[in-house]
Amino acid sequence: MNASSSRLSQSLNSRFSTSKVVSLLALSGSLVLSLATIGCSTKNYVRSQTAPLVQNTNELDAKTASDHRALVDTDERATKGIAGAQAAADQAGQHATAAGQSADQANQAAQGASNRVDSLNGVIANLDNYKQLSDVSVTFGFDKTVLTKSDKEQLDGLAASLQSARGYLLEVTGGTDSVGDAQYNYKLSQRRADAVVDYLSAKYNVPPHKFYLVGIGKDAQIASDKTASGRAQNRRVEVKLMSNMTSGGATAASNAISSN
């Protein structure tokens, strides 16, 4: 009986151990399955919670990048705008400077014109204040306009007094005898006066504005045309040296004439 009891006891122990092992294995499997299920659930939960955060972060990064580009564009436009404004200001300054210079030049020109008008008015006011200092008369052959050697010598003597004269005029009057047509004689007297002016201008550089030239034809004769000698005297050009008494030229011209 003891032997039977021992075998029974061993058998029971063996069964109990096997059952225990099976139970433990089943429990372990359940635990692993539970843990796996929990793990999957946790990952899904974490993923569901972090996905919006990731999306928000990405959107924030994109917005930040967009804002940065906008700031860069704004800065570039501002820089260009400042540069353009500076260039416009510089150009406006240059225009203002040029306008100021033009205004100054216009004022100077106006002042110069005013001075010339005043000077001309002074000359006009003194037209009656001229005094004759000297004169010469050169004669011509019949229907001639050529100066003789004697004529040129007389003009040379008159021109010598012009070197130191100021404010002077040369009154050049051409004449003819009464022979021939009046209109023809008028033109002939003009050509004779021109011959005298051309000689003094070419040889002594007397400027044109110093001459007062007139041809009178057969008018204002100085001798009778009834004789050959009288007609020869009328075929003449008279040159008078006139000096303005207010310019100081009369004194200088008088001294020059006296020294000659």
Q: Which pLDDT tens digits describe the chain residue by residue (260 residues)?
A: 555 556 655 555 555 455 554 565 555 555 555 555 555 556 666 567 667 766 766 776 777 777 778 777 777 887 887 888 788 878 877 887 887 787 788 678 657 656 765 665 665 566 667 888 889 999 999 999 999 999 999 999 999 888 777 788 999 999 999 998 999 999 999 999 999 999 999 999 999 999 998 999 998 888 988 999 999 999 999 999 988 876 554 444 444 444 44
Q: Return the domain boundaries, the chain.
A: 1-93, 130-259
For residue 212, give the nearest of 154, 249, 169, 176 by alpha carbon.
169
Tokens of 159: 């021109």
pTM of the predicted structure, to 2 decimals: 0.49
For residue 130, give the nearest of 43, 245, 236, 18 by alpha carbon.
245
Any residues with CB less than 8 A from the CB of 199 and at least 6 apart, and which? 147, 152, 155
Cα distances from 2 to residues 12, 61, 169, in angstroms, run 15, 85, 182
Q: Are residues 247 and 164 in contact, defined by beta-carbon separation less than 8 angstroms?
A: no
Cβ neighbours around 223 below 10 Å, total:
14
Determine the Cα–Cα distance for residues 226 and 151; give it in Å rounded to an integer: 24
For residue 166, give the nearest of 254, 104, 73 by alpha carbon.
254
Determine the Cα–Cα distance for residues 188 and 204; give it in Å rounded to an integer: 24
Residue 95: Cβ-neighbour burial (10 angstroms; 0-12, 13-18, 19+): exposed
Choose the CATH number for 130-259 among 1.20.210.10, 3.90.180.10, 3.30.1330.60, 3.50.50.60.
Answer: 3.30.1330.60
Phi, psi at residue 9, to the nearest 5°?
-65, -40
Alpha helices in the chain (DSSP H): 2-125, 149-160, 182-204, 228-234, 249-259
